[in-house]
Amino acid sequence: MIKSRALADNTKDFSEKFPHLLYKPLGNTGYTVSACGFGAYRVDYRVKEHFDSLEYALSNGINLIDTSANYADGGSEILIGNVLGDLINRDIIKREEIVIVSKGGYLQGKILEAAKKMKDDGLGYKEVTEYAENIWHSIHPDFLKDQITLSLERMKLETIDVYLLHNPEYFLDSPQAIDIEPEVLRKQYYSRIKKAFSYLEEEVKNGRITYYGISSNAFVKDSDDPVFTSLKECVNAANEISEDNNFYVIELPLNLYEKGAIANKNLEDNKFSVLEYAYESELGVLVNRPLNALGANGLMRLADFLVNYEYVNLDETQITAEINLLDMIEEEFLKEYLDILELTESNKEAVNYFLKAGKLLKENWKNFGTAENFNDIKKQYLIPRINFALNLLTTSPKLTPEMKQKLEKIAKQINKLVEIMDSIYGFIANENHKDLHIKLNTVVEGFEADKFKELTLSQKAILFINSLREISCTLVGMRQQKYVDDVLTALKQGVLVDAADKFSQI
């Protein structure tokens, strides 16, 4: 187990090792944290690149990590524990310098499977919101107790520094909520939050957490939105438990397009925004999704894409020829060798179904829509299926050198086509971002302008958020070292003057 916890003096000492980077106070916790934190949403202990990226981030000035019990079905927290343990053992960091934020509320993956079995056995958790077939939710103390225990075990920690209720608003628009009168529903909602806070106060006394709070997408909604979560009501709930309570941190979405945290005056009779209210309440504010904007057309990635202009300049006939080549060599391999390899019937069926990247691209390459959509399809569908098929084939004892050579040819052609698609859709995204670059560059004037214009879109987006006085830390996914470097460059820029006014002009 990793002993101790984050301590105010140590986090301050850590920041002084990196005087060229921007650090901020985390509300009234006493912690000094890097203005960007390592968002651990899509990292997993089974991926070495993720291990290396987190290690690199912590070694180069990042000292806040944000995760959750449900990220990668617990794999995110395991990764964090492994990296922390390694760096602490090598005397590169101290536990007291690093602020660990985790969350609880979701029942997904293995936890959901266990909960369903418990329910069938008559031993289920209390106050569970059965939101959908694959997502349940609960902030009942019994569930939180188990989640904190599991999180501590995965991360090998003695204490979690900040523990957040994870999107409790699921209760407000769940199937069970439909038949409940709105006023009664809201009363139940804040009662559940207060009950959770009371329990978390006990966890503070027990030393398993230091501070607590809420991560909610609904903090930024209009006050008449059905899932709006009032920060004032949450603060009141904590104060009713104790004036000396430990409700110190909130988390919410904010980016260049989704500006509800700033623009929506949803508190105190619609006089104050959630950021204004949080600042006056001396709460630490973590921002999520700074580079992923949700709009009418889906997800927009606020980043510049790397493109290979050799591929961008290919005409449609050349692209079609490359796709047809892949389709042909995949089909030839299946026809000539699949029966010879003596796979089990289920594995044979899987290979025959998954080794069809050429067919998929032939039918869809013009219709992926955006770079973000193609990236999702590539990572969640195309690459995993192809890798599964290739792994089954290459581990067959009947595989000959000739077969292996043909599989290598297939893999090479798939990689080439993925790079072609990345370049084409990345180029389109970059063209669409040109107007945003111009707008941002126009807003930033005077002595800040020249240096600002040289930044990437992601660095500009991060800098705008970091410059707001109310924001403590912007959480950025850094699954690769290049993403860490991108963030570190943003942190070297300091802050923009009159940031709130600039934000309003975007």
How do residues 442-454 score in pLDDT, each as one tens digit? Answer: 999 999 999 999 9
Distance CA 344, CA 459 (A): 50
For 195-245, the pLDDT digits (tens) are 999 999 999 999 999 999 999 999 999 999 999 999 999 999 999 999 999
Q: Is the pLDDT of residue 44 over 90?
A: yes
The β-bridge partners of 288 are: 253
C-alpha R_g of the chain: 25
Over 90: is that where the pLDDT of 370 sits?
no
Which residue in 158, 423, 171 sits closest to 308, CA to CA? 423
- pTM value is 0.91
Mean pLDDT on 266-290: 97
Q: Is the dihedral of CA 404, 409, 414, 416 positive or negative?
A: positive
> Regarding predicted confidence, which is higher, 176 or 411?
411
The pLDDT of residue 369 is 87
Report whether pLDDT(297) > 80.
Answer: no
pLDDT tens-digit profile of 242-262? Answer: 999 999 999 999 999 999 999
> What is the structure's pLDDT at 182?
92
> Is the pLDDT confidence value at 425 over 90?
yes
pLDDT confidence of residue 304: 95
Over residues 350-359, mean pLDDT: 94
What pLDDT was estimated at residue 124? 86
pLDDT at 372: 84
Which residues neighbour 148 within 8 Å (Cβ) at sequence distance 6 or greater? 104, 160, 163, 203, 208, 209
Mean pLDDT of the chain: 95
Does the pLDDT of residue 298 top 80, yes or no? no
Q: Minimum mean pLDDT among 13-22, 115-124, 330-339: which range?
A: 115-124
Question: For 77-111, how does the pLDDT look when each residue is reduced to its tens digit (9 = 90+)?
Answer: 999 999 999 999 999 999 999 999 999 999 999 99
Cα–chain-centroid distance for residue 339? 43
Q: Which two tokens stand for residue 461?
A: 């987006």
pLDDT grade for 379, boundaries at 50, 70 and 90? confident
